[in-house]
Chains A and B, each alone.
Chain A
Amino acid sequence: MAGGGGALEIPERQKRGKIVRRKKKKRIGFRIDLTPLVDITFLLLTFFMFTTTMLKPQIMEMRIPPEMYAKVEVRASELLTLMLTADNKLYWYKGIADANNKPQEIPISKLRALAIEKNLEPMVKNRLITVLKISPEANYARVVEILDELNQAEIPITEAIAKEVDEKGEPVKRQRKFTIAPLTEEDLKLIEGEVK
């Protein structure tokens, strides 16, 4: 091995020496072969591009009050009740439901307009309490859809309310009152009365 190598070295050195001398005259800069670097870069790039998910989950914040046993009295006229039944139908009524004020069915697509309209009625402006009564059998996606519609309705409501000015000359702040309650047998009877 060593002998063979040595025998080969002599002519190579001569050759190399010549090349180096020639190059020394002409060389301005030098070149590095970037091909492997670019190969790896492309590989990594494709990997990251295929594995990245741009769609990230978002959140809907909820605040629930601590358990309270004290009864709070509210005016019936300031209540907007929404009821989601087991078959995912949505009903609404304002105040107290009776023969003249029956729960009406409403498609979710019209809920936003309803919430805006009812919240901005002059008599109950900024005081309306929205109660969402949900059947335990209802679909979770439906519930979130309703919450989303109500959240979206808050934007124009807050805007409209902020146009008014209080005694100090500052824009009125929106006070949102919202609660979730279970759907009771009595509520179902109200709805059945409407269906009949």
Chain B
Amino acid sequence: MGFVIDLTPLVDITFLLLTFLMFTAKFKSEAEAEKQFTIRRPQVSPDTTKLPERDLAIINIAIDEKNPTDTGYYYGLTNVKDLQQVYQLVPEIPADFYNKALIKVDTVTLGKLIRATLSVRSSTRFAIDADRRVRFKWVEDAMNIMRRNRAFVFNFVTDKKRPGETEKTEKK
């Protein structure tokens, strides 16, 4: 009457993989989920330092996909509780933006946001996540704004260099 294959080892491995993937999976932060753009990060040699997940303030410098001349700063905080307090400290941000985790800002507001973030939580870590195609001026300005607002340590967000993708950065 037919034959039976013992599926036990298969199910064992499946469960093992499933539990592994379930425990390692992480949900996107709200700021990440609200991103309307994709950032192509610069690529560097492999490194073990990973982007911190908690209390991170990210300054995105992104190129609008539909309008490539429109580069802009976007400010996001992973700590949603802090975010509300930070927004209230910056009068430039309208109240209907309070439920957003990532907002497009100009240089003046960016400076005020950085200062407010540090006053709410001084241990917040900063990161500049810029598209590799932008001119350095954008990054330099962001660095100067951070310096003026006393955020002296920050990180550049990068990707691991993959073989065969080294020459793509040639594009301006």
Contacts and interface: CB of A to CB of B under 8 A. Distances in A.
Interface of A: 34, 38, 41-42, 44-45, 48-49, 51-52, 55-67, 84, 88, 134-145, 147-148, 151-152, 182
The 8 nearest A-B residue pairs measured at CB: A141-B132, A136-B137, A48-B21, A59-B155, A144-B42, A148-B44, A141-B169, A141-B42
Given A55-B159, A136-B140, A148-B44, A45 B17 contact: yes
Secondary structure at the A interface, as helix, strand, loop or mixed, is: mixed
A140 B130 contact: yes
Given A34-B11, A38-B14, A136-B137, A56 B51 contact: yes
Contacts of A136: 135-137, 140
A119 B152 CA distance: 26
Given A48-B22, A62-B156, A66-B152, A140 B143 contact: no
Given A48-B18, A49-B21, A64-B147, A58 B136 contact: no
Interface in B130-172: 130-140, 143, 146-148, 150, 152-160, 169, 172
Given A136-B136, A140-B42, A63 B152 contact: yes
Residue of A48, A56, A144 with most partner-chain B CB within 10 A: A144
Given A144-B156, A148-B44, A58 B21 contact: no
B132 A139 contact: yes
Interface of B: 7, 11, 14-15, 17-18, 21-22, 24-25, 41-51, 61, 127, 129-140, 143, 146-148, 150, 152-160, 169, 172
A60 B135 contact: no
B18 A45 contact: yes
A90 to B, nearest CB: 13
Contact of A64 (B14, B44, B152, B172): B152
B155 A62 contact: yes
B25 A140 contact: no
Contacts of A65: 152
Contacts of B133: 139-141
A51 B160 CA distance: 19
Contact of B159 (A58, A84, A151): A58
Contacts of A182: 140
